[in-house]
Structure 1
């Protein structure tokens, strides 16, 4: 029975994906137009420092958005990703500082313990989210809204709002601020994550079952898919990727801060997923397009800053783009139903 879902889920996602091809096809064109326009308007845009900043910020957003997209494809929502970014940052920094005091000079142990603690935070939050959604049948929106608040509160309680320092130079300068072949290390981490999720979506039963669950959960149940296990898995992946982003931010800045992530990262990750063709109804979405969407949103934010657009107005542009993307998704769905 499971082989039926394995075969049908990709076909369904491809069929619905074709109905969204108009929206997805516009994204590369908008990206090229935005880059060309900014290059003509402001020479600072194509400066090396600005390009590296864009790539670094787009990489961080893409990592979070990949996890968010996986949850949405399965028919859920993860509003806690921004808070997990912040919590992982402060826990990583605190753990490294404590390990440095206990084992001075042992950089490998210090970094390993900090990274493990940060990823553990993401794993824990993901398990809580997945358990409440899959086992207790609570709305993903409500659950992750609650864990977002609780996680953010824990991060502030740990630090009292004060940045945490005390990390090894090999972690900050040797990794977070380092460049390989002229590109920030965050770019390579993001490419590895994107490639891994693409493989999961296209080549594994987990990825195919996630599409099946988001597309038609009743059919997936009849076909023998373990719904609860796979839903928990999507939230765990989302939590781990958000924690990974927090660790990368900590390495880049050189301190753990409870102000990382927040509502902005959460909204941008959802926007990147939706604009990248992930249907809010589930069952449709590819992370490679989500990654392009993350790059588009990062360049758009950078362009607004260079054009000195009031920071209070910038969320308006993001909101308008999100509304347009959701409207196009709904229109494409209705046109498919009529056909």
Structure 2
């Protein structure tokens, strides 16, 4: 019998190298980098601004960040639904403007007709705004799913049409005459110390999470975004799924426009211009695939908070608006580079 062989390290009298465990750690980090990008960027931003931005960690500023994130968060949820289905919606910003104008016009007219019933005026304005957003989304869905127009071109063209309609209805001037209760409740109201718009945004996050994770529509939406042909062969009504996704996106964007109207106390046709880019950025930073089929609601909520947090921190540091745009773009590029497959 031959003697058992000893490891080379023991023969040479040296200790086993630690390079292998370190290599395994780096390999695991590389495998899961897609899930680590968002927490890394968020934690880094908090640490930097906590150290260099005066008043960043105060309760008032945290509340302000939550309030500022409401409108982008709701629009980002709308964008996420479309992206998961393999589409893209560039009209979310003009839908916000149209909902603001339509809702304010309906509220103002109803308030003049029934001055003693502000609830009726608010209900009419909300119904008009959400209906306009849903109709725009429906048209986007029909154009994309039935007419086979690429989502980029369909929503880009619809964006121009909707913006023109908003300008035509408003005449290019703000619309006043809203019931004061609308702004008091949905713009500046609080419930148990929490701003009402924040509660509405949280409710939309939870509803979207339930819709995508626990319903048949959610499963079909992921299937369509992952492989539309395979989903169709499996019996999924792909056209209907795409149309419903765009319609929901339009309704959610309209809701954001109405909340912004309550904050401004006027209907504006020039709001929401930056929301298409920012909503796509929030989704991409959160790991939503531009090719469809991948994306999680809670991650998009955190991605939205990251963008608003960075903007807030730079405002406290008195960084100019142009530089802020550059930073947001850089974060988007870095997140894409780190999370690449």
Report the TM-score when normalising by structure 2: 0.88
Alignment of 1:184-333 (within 5 A): 184-262=195-273, 264-329=274-339, 331-332=340-341
Q: Do the aligned partners of 1:163 and 1:257 also contact (CA within 8 Å) in 2?
A: yes
- Shift in alpha-carbon separation, 1:33–1:88, aligned structure 2, 3 A: same
| Unpaired stretches in structure 2, ≥5 consecutive residues | 1-28
**Aligned residue among 176, 195, 200 for 1:165:** 176
Deviation at 1:19, TM superposition (A): 9.1
Larger fraction in helix: 1
1:104 correspondence with 2:109? no
2-structure distance, mates of 1:224, 1:19: 37
Give SS of 1:313's match: helix
Selected match of 1:82 from 84, 88, 93: 93
Please, which of 136, 139, 146 is the counterpart of residue 128 of structure 1?
139
TM-score by length of 1: 0.88
Where has structure 1 moved over 6 Å in runs of 4 or more? none
Whole-Å Cα distance in 1 between the matches of residues 51 and 269 of structure 2? 38
Instruction: Note the alpha carbon deviations across 1:140-165, whole angstroms, 9 max, x for none.
Output: 00000011111112112222322111
Partner of 2:66: 55
| Structure 1 residues 228-284: Cα deviation after superposition (integer angstroms, max 9, x where no partner) | 00000110111001000000011112111112111x111110000111010111110
RMSD: 1.6
Q: Does the 8 Å contact 1:24/1:289 carry over to 2? A: no
CA distance in structure 1 between the aligned counterparts of 2:152 and 2:112, rounded to whole angstroms: 41
The match for 1:143 among 151, 154, 159 is 154
Distance 2:38 2:323 in 1: 22
Unaligned residue ranges in structure 1 (runs of 5+):
1-17, 333-339
Retained in 2: the 8 A contact 1:93–1:250?
A: yes
Higher Rg of the two aligned structures: 2
